[in-house]
């Protein structure tokens, strides 16, 4: 699928758009904007701790460094457009240091009148969408993350940079200079799940990407996703998805073939 943490970096990809179906991704953040446009079904989104549901022909616009996740509990189709602030400088400058009080956009027109194969076409389309978002009824507030939120950002950033190797909470606490027990309580209180459970889900998300997009052997995928052994990977994968990695890959390939 895709790795969120790199998008929007000036030296990396400036714009990327994906069409997906019934996909979920755990809590994360990045310096890019992220636009989720739903075409069928409903998508559950949590932005800075606030749960929202986005329906057909609606969207959610996540601002840079807003902590967010999305979860598909039903069959749906939606697009993920990730773009750097530099792609929309007028909009980005206008709302620097701000976030909307409501990230959703209902009954919008996301028709792509241009092929998005050039940066000019991408910018044109983005500004068309943002113009629908920028209305007199839309209100904004200053973004002032609490100390605990800033700490959470640091922990997630630690996971994103170390998930392939030993990435325990004790190592995170030592690296960040915080008490282990305090870090554990803070993480669980803000995300509603334990550090261990979050790390497991994060690694499985990376593993499904590798199963979808590469032909790497499953034992190599287990290692690259941060699992200590093939047995641990198979066990975790089956516990969360109720199938084995091998069956998952076979099903994904069969589904892709049907859509060709």
DSSP code for 117: -
Residue 242 buriedness (CB in 10 A; 0-12 / 13-18 / 19+): exposed
Average pLDDT, the chain: 86
Distance CA 166, CA 158 (A): 11
**Alpha-carbon Rg of the chain, whole angstroms?**
19
Q: What is the per-residue pLDDT across 215-249, written as a single tens digit (0 to 9) for each? A: 999 999 999 999 999 999 999 999 988 899 999 88
Q: What is the per-residue pLDDT across 166-175, written as a single tens digit (0 to 9) for each? A: 999 999 999 9
* b/e per residue 77-102 (b: at least 16 CB within 10 A): bbbbbbbbbebbeebbeebeeebbee
DSSP code for 97: T
* pLDDT at site 2: 45
Q: What is the per-residue pLDDT across 19-33, written as a single tens digit (0 to 9) for each? A: 889 888 888 877 789
CA distances from 101 to 21, 42, 89, 94, 215 (A): 28, 21, 21, 16, 43
Q: What is the per-residue pLDDT across 29-77, written as a single tens digit (0 to 9) for each? A: 777 899 999 999 999 999 988 999 999 999 999 998 888 899 999 999 9
Q: Choose between 260 and 108: higher pLDDT.
A: 108
Q: What is the per-residue pLDDT across 175-202, written as a single tens digit (0 to 9) for each? A: 999 999 999 999 888 877 899 988 998 8
Structural domains of the chain, with CATH: 4-142 (2.60.120.10), 147-258 (1.10.10.60)
């Amino acid at each position: 699928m895709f790795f969120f943490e790199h998008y929007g970096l000036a030296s990396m990809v400036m714009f990327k758009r994906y069409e997906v179906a019934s996909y979920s991704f755990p809590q994360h953040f990045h310096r890019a904007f992220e636009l989720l446009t739903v075409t069928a079904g409903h998508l559950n989104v949590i932005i800075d701790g606030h749960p929202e549901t986005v329906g057909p022909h609606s969207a959610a616009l996540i601002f840079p460094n807003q902590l967010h996740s999305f979860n598909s509990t039903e069959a749906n189709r939606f697009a993920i457009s990730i773009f750097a602030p530099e792609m929309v400088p007028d909009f980005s400058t206008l709302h620097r240091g701000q976030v909307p009080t409501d990230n959703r956009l209902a009954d919008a027109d996301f028709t792509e009148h241009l092929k998005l194969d050039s940066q000019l076409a991408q910018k044109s389309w983005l500004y068309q969408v943002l113009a629908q978002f920028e209305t007199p009824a839309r209100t904004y507030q200053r973004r002032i993350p609490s100390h605990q939120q800033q700490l959470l950002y640091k922990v997630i950033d630690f996971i994103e940079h170390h998930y392939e190797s030993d990435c325990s909470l004790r190592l995170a606490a030592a690296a960040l200079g915080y008490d282990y027990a305090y870090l554990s309580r803070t993480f669980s209180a803000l995300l509603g799940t334990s550090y261990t459970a979050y790390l497991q889900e994060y690694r499985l998300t990376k593993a499904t990407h590798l199963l979808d997009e590469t032909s790497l052997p499953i034992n190599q995928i287990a290692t690259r996703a941060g699992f200590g052994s093939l047995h641990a990977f198979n066990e975790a994968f089956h516990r969360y998805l109720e199938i084995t990695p091998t069956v998952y890959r076979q099903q994904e390939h069969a589904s892709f073939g049907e859509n060709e």
